[in-house]
Structure 1
């Protein structure tokens, strides 16, 4: 495994117990705070540092989380309002190379994440068991996966990227 690629480990789907649900909902609710704290005080050269060799810069990573979670929010909304919709895949590397990622400061994506996660959390915090069991179909696998699976995946995803930045901070001894 590449150093610090998975500082909190790879994603593992767990049984969807009440405690797992609450843990994941909290991760969705507080991800913007966690990600903002991970980049707090970093200067522009630090933001332009790849979090690992061959990886994205911290700057790209922050914008990636916003891009990914915009897609996640949309996937949840589709899953709650349509019967087994086929969700849209996207090329995250191509998105990371677009001009908005290259030219705009990370604080715009942090601000976006605060608003997005407030909406996302409000939409899902009170779902019942049947709603969590609703499925969407990813076009790559063709398999239906429950919203409870995606809650766990995106809770992990946000913590994963914040941990990558924190790992880099520790490794480089950035205060």
Structure 2
């Protein structure tokens, strides 16, 4: 684990050329995310869910809703990349999204249920991709061209990163 609680598994190291086996491993991480996140928050009280994972950070509740927001966007972007020629995608301000009333107050089960269905669709789609399709992508206004293979690596990390925020908070607080 990283010493910096903002990055409990370390920062994203950037995309690397992946073998088909590595792609399958990333898909497996995405497939496991809903259950891993559900387990990470299991048994937490509302007060614990409303505890920031670090000083100045989002609450556990906001983290869960953020993961759903982020992964919905990633899923849609990948579908665009598969059906259009290097489409330009729109960015969103994840900090503002995390501070909207639903992200601050809804039960986490709402986003956990969304993630169950979303990740079933997303992983089924990813498992069907051909090698050329993994090379398709989109244009991110801030990060430039991003291939599906790179995006999946990033969301493999993103999934593990946010689950670790919660599990490490639980360890630190003895929950």
Question: Smaller-chain TM-score range?
Answer: over 0.9
Q: Deviations over 1:94-147 (max 9, x none)?
A: 111112112211110000000110111111112111000002100113x21110
| TM-score, normalising length: structure 1 | 0.95
RMSD: 1.2
Give the Cα–Cα distance (whole angstroms) in 2 for the partners of residues 155 and 91 of structure 1.
21
Shift of 1:2: 7.6
Q: Which stretches of structure 1, 4 residues or more, deviate above 3 A after TM superposition?
A: none
User: Helix, strand or coil: the match of 1:137?
Assistant: strand
Give the Cα–Cα distance (whole angstroms) in 2 for the partners of residues 23 and 101 of structure 1.
30
Q: Does structure 2 conserve the Cα–Cα contact (< 8 Å) formed by 1:4 and 1:164?
A: yes
Give the Cα–Cα distance (whole angstroms) in 2 for the partners of residues 14 and 70 of structure 1.
24
Aligned to 1:131: 133
For structure 1, the residue ranges without an aligned partner over 5 or more in a row are none
1:74 aligned onto 2:88: no
What is the aligned length? 173
Q: Does structure 2 conserve the Cα–Cα contact (< 8 Å) formed by 1:3 and 1:52?
A: no
Aligned to 1:17: 19
42-51 or 99-108, larger mean C-alpha shift: 99-108
Aligned to 1:57: 59
1:117-156 matches, cutoff 5 A: 117-141=119-143, 143-156=144-157
